Amino acid sequence: MSVARTRVITLMGLNGSVVEVEADLSDGLPGFLLIGLPDASLGEARDRVRAAAANSGCVLPPKKLTINLSPASLPKHGSSFDLGIAVAALAAADLVSHRSISEVVHLGELGLDGRLRPVQGILPSVLGAARAGAEVVMVPAANAEEASLVPGVRVVGVASLREAAIWHGGDFTSIDVDPVLSSAAAPQSAPELELADVIGNTEAVEALIAAASGGTTS
């Protein structure tokens, strides 16, 4: 086992910056240490990655796992780091290819069942990866169509961590899963106009209300 590296993208507004994910497995009490200025939501990746790996049949060994996000000075937030952290951990355990994950930028949130959930900001993230010279980006299946709008980048859409591990050379049997789809926005009806909401023109509003009700104004 040795240090494994891959890349993810962090967004600052609409600007995507590359973050390197380093994973190291060492002897000692089992644990999961995440360093490199993660925010609270990113800190929760520890539990999501462990559970997703176990439920995907890609169980991580009971060792001390250290994940470093570099550069440490760059703020990092959100759940789109999950996939990158997970594949780096699998590579550190020699369950997938070190070389393969190092050549791919990974974006995606993991569910506890190991399926990949779509993430927000996929277009600027993939654009940031392309500007940094990335040639291959792996994203959740539900984000693949949007990610493909960025020219010059090969987009690999996967439905689960297990599928990602197999793509990276993991010796696992393929299992079909239903991909998590993006939730469609509920149709919004046009708001009803209400004269009581009009500010100012009090006399005109009263006249219109009286006329609509069939009365007269003095």
What are the residue boundaries of the structural domains of the chain, listed by start? Answer: 4-185
Q: From residue 31, how far is each of 3, 4, 54, 89, 188 by CA, in Å?
A: 16, 17, 15, 12, 47
Reference 154, options 135, 133, 129; nearest CA is 135
Alpha carbon 119 to chain centroid, angstroms = 4
pLDDT at 186: 45
Query: In this structure, is the dihedral angle defined by the CA atoms of residues 140, 74, 37 and 91, taken in order, positive or negative?
Result: positive
pLDDT digits (tens, 9 = 90+) for 160-208: 999 999 999 999 999 989 989 876 544 555 566 666 666 666 777 777 7
Q: Which of 40-49, 151-160, 167-176, 202-211 has the lowest mean pLDDT?
A: 202-211
Residues 16-41: pLDDT tens digits? 999 999 999 998 888 999 999 778 87
pLDDT band, residue 218 (cuts 50/70/90) = low
Architecture of domain 4-185: 2-Layer Sandwich (3.30)
pTM of the model: 0.82
